[in-house]
Structure 1
Amino acid sequence: MADVEELLDGVPVRLESARVVRARGERRRARRRTGVAVVAVSAATAVGLGVWTQLSGDQDGSRVAAQGPNPFTDSRGVMQAPDPSSLPMNGSLHWTVDEKSSSSNQLPRMGLGNVCPSWRGDEDSLHYSMGTGLYKGKDGARARYRVVHFSERDDVGTALRDIDRTLRDCGLSKRADGLYSGRTGDGGPMLRVSVRQWNDWLGIIETQYAQR
């Protein structure tokens, strides 16, 4: 759980702390001390998550086209998180905001509670700031929303490839462009992941629940 936490519009926001981002930068610099100029990682911007009800035209989890205004921020540039009622399967899982749980946020880690214990790619190689919203549902269901802003455009493609491989290794199948679902591991919970892109931003929704 990040050291910085805010509460905006009823949604608790967990932000990566400057300490976490600095530590990631130090590990990256240690690997790159070969005379090549290193791009320093700045501390995560102190941005919050507001609330959106849904992304218009994106009900199936398709990636957002890089056109029009940023769908992940409001007019002030504040990152937006979904209202619990707009999360997948709300009719049966009855999502509410989870104000107590913590979460390991770093990409390309996916799933909650270590249901996907292995991941593809180097979590310290990506340059980004991120806000996270956590939710809980019926029968132990959990959900997480992450909105990620990359400082280097090339990192978006790297993150998408690493996320894709991580989810496939975890047992999920790609159902549509940016939408994955399936049972995790060997008899683990069901996991549904929607990955949306807009320019150098990603919005990721993970919903995790027991098989019915």
Structure 2
Amino acid sequence: MTQSATDLSTSFQVAPAGGEPEGIQARSPRQLFWSRFREDKLAIAGGVAIIVMLLLALSAPIWESITGHPYDKLFTDRTDAFGIPLGPTNSFWFGSDDLGRDLFVRMLYGARVSLRIAFLATGVEVGIGVLVGLMSGFRGGAIDVGLSRLMDLVLSIPFLLLGISLAVAVGASETLVIFIIAFFGWPYIARIVRGQVLSLRESQFVEA
């Protein structure tokens, strides 16, 4: 059974000569990140939790004034006859510690310290990791081998053992914690950057 010319013309639509074919629109890394982020429910939940934590930590002085409980003030009526801290109440939402201090206010101020350490340590390790990764991937040769072995050496050191040893020898401080986190974190960043540099270096537009 044969088809007529009219049937064939309706089955196959020919693009006009002056028209341009629709190409695939490339998306930037930022667009790819947001599209994947919106589809990941766990990532959204984690992002909301981080935002809430940031807001609570930044508003610690406000909560301190609302409750009327300075973070270092001792409330002698917050322990029983045996010195055991009392539980949560309307004024002490999280209860108090063994010295009678408000745990909720102290938790908010503790979150400020933790976030400050996290941001500073992350900034230091990202800076070192990007610099080492770029140098290792771009220069190659003996420099790449030496820096790669340095990464392996740092990653082979027991993180917890070194941290405890330094805390005992030097004394616990924010600076020490930032140093330890950054010292053990930069090799992971450096490896990722090195791999990206090596892949881009072999691309045709770079070779041209």
TM-score, normalised relative to structure 2? 0.20
Structure with greater proportional strand content:
1
Structure with greater proportional helix content:
2
Structure whose alpha-carbon radius of gyration is higher: 2
Greater RCO between the two (CA within 8 Å, min separation 6)?
1
TM-score, normalised relative to structure 1? 0.20
